Structure 1
Amino acid sequence: MINKILKVVFCLPAIVVLLVILFSNINLYYTPEITFVAPDSVRADLLKELRGLKSALHDNADIKMQRLYPEGYLFMNAIYGLAWCNFMEGLSNESEYFEEGTVELKKTWDKIDSDRGRSPFNESLPLRYGAFYTGWSTYFLGRKLSLEHPTKRKESEVTYFKQQCDSIAAVVKERIYPVSYYGGAWPADAILCIASLSWHDKLFEPRYAEVRKAWLEKVKNNLDVHGLIPHSVSPLNGKPVESARGSSQGLMLIFLREIDASFASEQFAIFRSNFLDRTLGLSGIREYPKGEFGIGDVDSGPMLFQVGSAATLVGMQTLCLYGDVENSVQMRDVIEAVAFPYERDDRKSYLFGLMPIADAFITWSHSVERSHDNVSSSFTTFHVISAAVCIALGVFLWIILRPKKPTSDVLHVPW
């Protein structure tokens, strides 16, 4: 009896892997759920994801993420808020979902515009609290104001937004990429700042077109060896320190299209050529360009065969926005297959709710999707590989767990 129990325990990892492979192959065929409530039709599963994050934030998920990432609190709230902004676009102002989103945007802004939201950042930097805080907070506020009727906007928020845009415009005239921390500058943070100026000119009297144009010319003169905006730069002269990476490049492209669509399309073509890859027959975004090898860090998240988790979660949205719907949908389906989605009541979460920042990225990427009913993905290669692994595991389990034929020590004499 003890021998049988030990065999089962020994085989447990193989059994778990077998079940995960079967679950993943089944879950690859994911179809978003649409709900119609007059006068709007909405993605029901997206709404569940937003409410799952809403519940997680109620339980202080943003504070927990701050303990793992230097900007976890701000990052999670900003991405959550932007997902609501995307969800609300096109909805009737009278919709119950629009009203729910309005409440969530207010709560999100109150968190971002708070001592806790600013606490990781230095007030005395050229851009007050640095480019990361200024970029994400100002961009989010611009999106929030865009969804509000001009007569219902808070005057204090409008004034603050305009002041922040003036500060951004003044600083980027001196430095291409303002610092986020002393001694550190990342182009992704600066792009959020410049995209905020674009939103200003959409919402109010245009005044920053020349600032954006001059900034973009400097950017074009400081690209990396691949012709892409680098991952990190020298805060003194804006020269590349680390070449483009999938996680930051995918993020920058989301906002770059709001600054200059033509240049953004050129950057996307280079990005797609260098970072879009297929592993085990599945599409993903590499953290490092093809032909280069790197290790994971806080920016990339976990990596498998050089495909980055953060790069793929963000890249799903990037590909969708630039029209590569086929690969975007395949990434969506792969994430649905491997991220262990869990639904309860009116909420949905991933990875058993253990990593809310991942939920936030997934939800944000899902929020830009529209109808993809006519798009289908082929997973034949992955199915063949999965079948081969399952057969090998099945044979292994059969060899270990099969009952042995009874043996007898009694001598049998046939006469």
Structure 2
Amino acid sequence: MQYLRISIVRILLGVWLLIVIGVIYGNARLYAPSPLAASLSKAPPQLTSQLAANRAALESGAATRMQALFPEGYYFSYLFHGLAWVELAMRDASHTEEAIEEASWCLQHMESPEGHAPFPPDLPPDHGMFYAAWKCHLRGGIVTLQQASDEKQLALWRDECDEIVTALQTSETPFLPSYHGAAWPCDTVPAIHALCTYDHLLKESRYRTFVKQWLVEVEERRDRQTGLLFPHTASLPEGRAGSVARATSQVIVLRLLPDIAPRIAQLEYESFRRDYVTTFLGAPCVLEFPRGMSGTGDVDSGPLVFGRSLSATVFLMGVAQVYGDHALADAIAQTGEVVGLPWTSDGKKQYAAGLLPIGDIMVTYAHVARPWFAQTQHHPDQPYEMCAWWRLPIHAVSLLVLLPALLLVWRRWRHGLKPKQESQESSSRP
């Protein structure tokens, strides 16, 4: 029995020692270089290994598994993988050929029966706004990388853009529904981004007047509770604010808005940063609801941790890069390299052992974020502030784990020192 008791104590001490080592390692790793690139014209150093892991996951059926967990799990898995490749090639042209191939492969899956199965086939434009907008956005990225050289792809893209404009022009609302009776304003933004991208790439003004009018109608439906331009949901058929602006949708809007309306984007990001960006143990993160307002997580946000949204925080890492808020982006990225437990093997980098592939794909998409053609008009007049000592609360909490270890070492040192001192004193006696 005594032997068993000693064995259990040794096991517990071993587990405790592993925890202590993990805490020390995690605190030290917070100071490791950020996985993000220092410039939007450079590729993050580990991005290709992340993309390789994501491709392997998709080939093994990860998108189908994600569909069982999220309403758009299949679609989003291929969408963000394709967009990550597009924006990688926009940073580093040496990846262009492979990016076109990968993004086209993703687009084929999005257009497959399994890709549009969750979406209503009779809802204009083309299975509802969510499906149509993001598909048009990705195709625009492919055409951009091709420099509009593929006439067939360009014609398809133009037709999709025209179909979206027609649907919006014949609607009472600037926010078309994605499902019957349900509209999310952020779902329309990728479609508008595609229209602006078309005009920029083709040096045309095909959609300029329409986009200006759309922005006027959006302004009339601003979320009055937060002052932000886009509420989380919109009522139908008129498109008035249905619920308060939430981080899950705002980070999508903010990522695309600089290419649509740079000055508006600057103001929106400043407001969002003030009212939604917070910390948890010093590490920056995002509140799903604005300060002073509480709510519960749902299928859009996922579970909330003390009101904080993990998915919105991951997206903010990319959004902050877009707005030149690099210190904030790096802090989120460095924290993610600790919390996410990344592991690279055989040229593939995964987080949390790849248990949630769409999470890895979203992180990759955030790591490579950049505007498609906007310059710096949406950057702040003064640099955004970021506390240089943001890691200190994490270190302070970590001491609660390390303190028992330090006390144990101190007691052992004291007990070991005492007999030695007594022995020295006795040997000095005559």
Is 1:245 the counterpart of 2:257? The answer is: no
Relative to structure 1, the CA distance from residue 168 to residue 17 in structure 2 (aligned partners, 3 Å threshold; closer, same or farther) is: farther
Q: Tell me, what secondary structure is at the counterpart of 1:44?
A: coil
Say if 2:302 and 2:309, in contact at 8 Å, map to a contact too: yes
Structure-1 separation of matches of 2:143 and 2:287 = 35
Map of 2:286 onto structure 1: 285
Map of 1:99 onto structure 2: 97
Give the letter for the 1:44 counterpart. P
Structure-2 separation of matches of 1:240 and 1:397 = 60
Relative to structure 1, the CA distance from residue 274 to residue 121 in structure 2 (aligned partners, 3 Å threshold; closer, same or farther) is: same
Give the letter for the 1:387 counterpart. L
Is 1:124 the counterpart of 2:125? The answer is: no
List aligned pairs for 1:373-384, cutoff 5 A: 377-378=388-389, 379-384=391-396
List aligned pairs for 1:396-407, cutoff 5 A: none
Structure-2 separation of matches of 1:210 and 1:195 = 14
Deviation at 1:396, TM superposition (A): 9.6
Say if 1:34 and 1:41, in contact at 8 Å, map to a contact too: no
Give the letter for the 1:230 counterpart. P
Deviation at 1:158, TM superposition (A): 1.8
1:169 to 150, 165, 172: 165
Structure-1 separation of matches of 2:405 and 2:359 = 31
8-17 or 359-368, which deviates more: 8-17
Map of 1:318 onto structure 2: 319
Map of 2:212 onto structure 1: 213
List aligned pairs for 1:195-210, cutoff 5 A: 195-204=193-202, 205-210=204-209
Deviation at 1:245, TM superposition (A): 1.1
Say if 2:81 and 2:361, in contact at 8 Å, map to a contact too: yes
List aligned pairs for 1:260-279, cutoff 5 A: 260-279=261-280
Map of 1:301 onto structure 2: 302
Say if 1:32 and 1:43, in contact at 8 Å, map to a contact too: no
Structure-2 separation of matches of 1:397 and 1:117 = 59
Map of 2:107 onto structure 1: 109
Query: CA-to-partner distance for each residue in 1:314-365, whole Å, 9 max, x for gaps?
Result: 0111111112111111011111110010100211011110011111111111
Structure-1 separation of matches of 2:338 and 2:126 = 42
Map of 2:142 onto structure 1: 144
Structure-1 separation of matches of 2:49 and 2:102 = 14
Say if 2:36 and 2:367, in contact at 8 Å, map to a contact too: no
Structure-2 separation of matches of 1:271 and 1:395 = 45
Gaps of 5+ in 1: 400-415
TM-score (norm 2): 0.83
Structure-2 separation of matches of 1:254 and 1:122 = 27
Query: CA-to-partner distance for each residue in 1:103-127, whole Å, 9 max, x for gaps?
Result: 2122112112222211111110122
Is 1:385 the counterpart of 2:406? The answer is: no
Structure-2 separation of matches of 1:295 and 1:397 = 44
List aligned pairs for 1:225-240, cutoff 5 A: 225-228=225-228, 229-240=230-241
Gaps of 5+ in 2: 372-385, 412-430
Structure-2 separation of matches of 1:162 and 1:346 = 38
Structure-2 separation of matches of 1:91 and 1:332 = 21
Give the letter for the 1:167 counterpart. E
Say if 1:79 and 1:361, in contact at 8 Å, map to a contact too: yes
Q: How many matched pairs? A: 386
Deviation at 1:394, TM superposition (A): 6.8
Q: Tell me, what secondary structure is at the counterpart of 2:188?
A: helix
Deviation at 1:131, TM superposition (A): 0.7
Deviation at 1:22, TM superposition (A): 2.9
Q: Tell me, what secondary structure is at the counterpart of 2:82?
A: helix
Map of 1:403 onto structure 2: none
Deviation at 1:238, TM superposition (A): 1.1
Say if 1:329 and 1:377, in contact at 8 Å, map to a contact too: no
Deviation at 1:6, TM superposition (A): 4.7
Deviation at 1:311, TM superposition (A): 0.9
Deviation at 1:298, TM superposition (A): 2.3
Relative to structure 1, the CA distance from residue 366 to residue 250 in structure 2 (aligned partners, 3 Å threshold; closer, same or farther) is: same
Map of 2:333 onto structure 1: 332
Structure-2 separation of matches of 1:249 and 1:197 = 20
Deviation at 1:387, TM superposition (A): 1.7
Structure-2 separation of matches of 1:98 and 1:207 = 27
Relative to structure 1, the CA distance from residue 325 to residue 34 in structure 2 (aligned partners, 3 Å threshold; closer, same or farther) is: closer
Structure-1 separation of matches of 2:252 and 2:5 = 53
Deviation at 1:184, TM superposition (A): 0.6
Deviation at 1:162, TM superposition (A): 1.0
Deviation at 1:32, TM superposition (A): 5.0
Relative to structure 1, the CA distance from residue 3 to residue 296 in structure 2 (aligned partners, 3 Å threshold; closer, same or farther) is: farther
Structure-2 separation of matches of 1:107 and 1:164 = 19
200-209 or 334-343, which deviates more: 200-209
Query: CA-to-partner distance for each residue in 1:195-224, whole Å, 9 max, x for gaps?
Result: 111112122332111111111111111122
Say if 2:43 and 2:91, in contact at 8 Å, map to a contact too: no
1:160 to 156, 159, 162: 156
Deviation at 1:376, TM superposition (A): 9.9
192-201 or 387-396, which deviates more: 387-396
Give the letter for the 1:43 counterpart. P
TM-score (norm 1): 0.86
Query: What is the CA RMSD across the aligned residues, in angstroms?
Result: 2.7
Deviation at 1:313, TM superposition (A): 0.2
Q: Tell me, what secondary structure is at the counterpart of 1:265?
A: helix
Say if 1:130 and 1:181, in contact at 8 Å, map to a contact too: yes
290-299 or 327-336, which deviates more: 290-299
Give the letter for the 2:392 counterpart. T
Give the letter for the 1:163 counterpart. D
Structure-2 separation of matches of 1:166 and 1:382 = 51
Percent identity, aligned pairs only, is: 29
Relative to structure 1, the CA distance from residue 23 to residue 287 in structure 2 (aligned partners, 3 Å threshold; closer, same or farther) is: farther
Map of 2:359 onto structure 1: 358
Map of 2:189 onto structure 1: 191
Deviation at 1:52, TM superposition (A): 1.1
Q: Tell me, what secondary structure is at the counterpart of 1:357?
A: helix
Give the letter for the 2:208 counterpart. A
Is 1:255 the counterpart of 2:260? The answer is: no
